């Protein structure tokens, strides 16, 4: 300690924090070096730990590396409209001689979608997100777009979808994002979407089946099916079937079905344990909005599991996910009672970007 104090290296609280007069820099090929402005010298080893470090991953999306007139590298943050000579990847350095990783949990309930995708490059990947103009779908679409993916917002309301596209482009003007019409309550619309998508002659690497209806009063779609069942499950089921060939050609590819823990509070079997189809699309007298939602989410999981069983040998995986205790979204908008309950629960829920 006496030697450190003499050298002026004990003034900081963290062993990785640089002492006064030192600066951390990076080379063009990603190695970290340290400049001692007091003695006007540089070295590869950290002045306190003696470790060598290198940059982990690519630049975050929205960032570009440029060179000034003096040949010095600087970085442009297009999202926040600023420039800096400090490499943003310095927050994600790794030791040149890394230690064995631990089993400590990497993500938790406060982790954002952007943090999970940090360092991932989705350039050249095509992603379709249904119901992407708001809520979970919007945050998912935005996160993929800001990490380089070509993202298609598949939405019923094109006015809101185009507004969502503009919001994403406002964060990063180079994002590759567009909107296409998809009304899951109309099977003909699902078919038209699939035809229009195939006409683009692009791959499909990720299909996120996110759109959902909740707490709807009983109604039948133009196809003669109960609306919650068709929007939440059957429309997505049909969409995946129509795009299955594209997914297989694009392998490795993935289908993500957004379900819910509420699937546990219902069943679709009769008293004899046999599948009761009348429960999937019930009549008005047998309809209860919450049960209809729960059953549609159960169908989501059963569908995802079977899809994975059939397509995983062809390089297409399927996962059903519960997004977490994220009650405060626009999903409750159809009945004031749910709006009140969700408002009261809001302090105990996750924010929209923590998906």
Active site residues: 293
Are 253 and 315 contacting, i.e. CB atoms less than 8 angstroms apart? yes
Cα 126 to its chain centre, rounded Å, is 13
Give the phi and the psi of residue 71 in degrees, each rounded to 5: 85, 5
Q: What is the spatial distance between Cα 47 and Cα 18, in angstroms, rounded to a whole number? A: 7
Q: Could you write out the DSSP letters of every residue in 247-296?
A: HHHT-SEEEEEE--GGGGG---B-TTSSB-GGGTS--GGG--HHHHHHHH
Alpha-helix runs per DSSP H in the chain? 2-7, 113-116, 135-145, 158-171, 187-199, 227-229, 235-249, 289-311, 336-345
Are 334 and 216 contacting, i.e. CB atoms less than 8 angstroms apart? yes
Angle between helices 187-199 and 235-249 (to 10 degrees): 20
> How many helices (H) and strands (E) would you count in the chain?
9, 14
Q: What is the spatial distance between Cα 308 and Cα 255, in angstroms, rounded to a whole number? A: 9
Show Cβ contacts of residue 264 under 8 Å, excluding neighbours closer than 6 positions.
none
Cα 215 to its chain centre, rounded Å, is 25
SS3 for 22-51, per residue?
EEEEECCCCEEEEEECCCCEEECCCCCCCC
Q: What is the spatial distance between Cα 63 and Cα 294, in angstroms, rounded to a whole number? A: 42
**Which residue(s) pair with 130 in the sheet?**
154
Q: What is the spatial distance between Cα 36 and Cα 124, in angstroms, rounded to a whole number? A: 42
């Amino acid at each position: 300690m006496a030697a450190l104090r003499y050298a002026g290296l004990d003034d900081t609280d963290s062993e990785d924090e640089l002492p006064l007069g030192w600066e951390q820099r990076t080379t063009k090929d990603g190695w970290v070096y340290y400049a001692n402005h007091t003695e006007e010298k540089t070295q590869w080893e950290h002045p306190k730990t003696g470790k060598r470090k290198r940059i982990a991953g690519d630049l975050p999306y929205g960032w570009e590396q440029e060179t000034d007139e003096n040949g010095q590298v600087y970085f442009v943050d297009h999202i926040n409209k600023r420039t800096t000579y400090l490499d943003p990847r310095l927050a994600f350095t790794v030791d040149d001689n890394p230690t064995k990783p631990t089993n400590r949990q990497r993500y938790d309930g406060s982790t954002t979608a952007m943090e999970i995708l940090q360092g991932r490059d989705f350039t050249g990947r095509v992603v379709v997100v249904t119901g992407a103009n708001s809520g979970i779908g919007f945050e998912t679409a935005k996160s993929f777009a800001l990490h380089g993916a070509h993202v298609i917002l598949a939405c019923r309301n094109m006015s809101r979808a185009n507004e969502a596209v503009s919001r994403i482009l406002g964060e990063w003007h180079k994002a590759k994002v567009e909107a296409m019409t998809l009304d899951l309550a109309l099977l003909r619309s699902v078919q038209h979407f699939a035809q229009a998508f195939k006409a683009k002659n692009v791959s499909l690497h990720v299909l996120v089946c996110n759109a959902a209806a909740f707490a709807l009063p009983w109604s039948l779609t133009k196809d003669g099916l109960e609306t919650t069942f068709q929007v939440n499950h059957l429309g997505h089921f049909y969409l995946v079937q129509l795009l299955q060939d594209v997914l297989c050609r694009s392998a490795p590819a993935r289908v993500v079905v957004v379900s819910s823990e509420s699937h546990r509070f219902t069943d679709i079997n009769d008293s004899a344990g046999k599948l009761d189809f009348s429960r999937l699309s019930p009549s008005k007298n047998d309809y209860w909005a919450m049960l209809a939602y729960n059953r549609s989410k159960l169908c989501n999981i059963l569908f995802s599991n079977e899809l994975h069983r059939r397509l995983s040998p062809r390089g297409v995986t399927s996962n059903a996910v519960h997004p977490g205790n994220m009650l405060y979204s626009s999903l409750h908008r159809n009945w004031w009672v749910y709006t009140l309950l969700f408002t009261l629960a809001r302090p105990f829920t996750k924010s929209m970007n923590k998906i």
